[in-house]
């Protein structure tokens, strides 16, 4: 297989994987996944960190490096060094993040912003499948 075709297949496979994870995350949110924590009923679950889409979900040892997480493509490169970088994915055009919502928003506001962001990312990826930007020869 030619390297260009292999690269295109890798990109398509990654896009499909991210699409499925975004859809699973949206389903988790819509079913109330962030409203109550089974493990810590005194507080809401941490967004992304306590989701089944997190590579370290249910693993207290955190064996997977955050930098290898699928969410890193949504985190600015300069913020990927944070202890929990997924909290810094920009959810809005004016830079609202999970981290800023923890400090200034309510659980309902966080859920609303997150659902909107997830739907927008899903729509973008689905549009890329319908109208690919460029095809490799």
Q: Chunked in runs of 10, what are the mean pLDDT values of the chain (137 residues)?
A: 59 90 96 82 88 86 88 95 95 96 94 97 89 52
How far is residue 7's CA from residue 81's CA, in Å, rounded to a whole number? 27
> What is the predicted pLDDT for the residue at 2?
59
Residue 29 lies in a domain: yes
Range of the domain at 42: 3-130
Residue 104 lies in a domain: yes
Give the other-Cβ count within 10 Å of 25's Cβ. Answer: 25
- Integer-rounded Cα Rg, in Å, for the chain is 16
Residue 64 lies in a domain: yes
Please count the structural domains in the chain. Answer: 1
Residue 45 lies in a domain: yes
Which residues are 81's β-sheet partners? none
> What is the predicted pLDDT for the residue at 128?
85
Chain centre distance of CA 102: 16
Residue 35 lies in a domain: yes
Residue 136 lies in a domain: no
How far is residue 124's CA from residue 128's CA, in Å, rounded to a whole number? 6
Residue 137 lies in a domain: no
Q: What is the pTM of this model?
A: 0.83
């Amino acid at each position: 297989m030619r390297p260009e075709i292999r690269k295109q297949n890798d990109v398509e496979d990654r896009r499909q994987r991210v699409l499925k994870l975004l859809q699973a995350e949206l389903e988790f949110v819509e079913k109330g996944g962030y409203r109550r924590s089974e493990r810590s009923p005194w507080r809401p679950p941490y967004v992304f960190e306590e989701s089944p889409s997190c590579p370290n979900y249910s693993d207290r040892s955190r064996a997977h490096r955050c930098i290898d997480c699928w969410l890193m493509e949504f985190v600015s490169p300069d913020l990927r060094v944070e202890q929990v970088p997924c909290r810094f994915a920009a959810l809005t055009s004016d830079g609202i993040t999970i981290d800023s919502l923890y400090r200034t928003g309510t659980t309902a506001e966080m859920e609303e912003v997150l659902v909107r962001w997830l739907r927008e990312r899903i729509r973008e990826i689905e549009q890329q499948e319908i109208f690919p930007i460029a095809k490799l020869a």
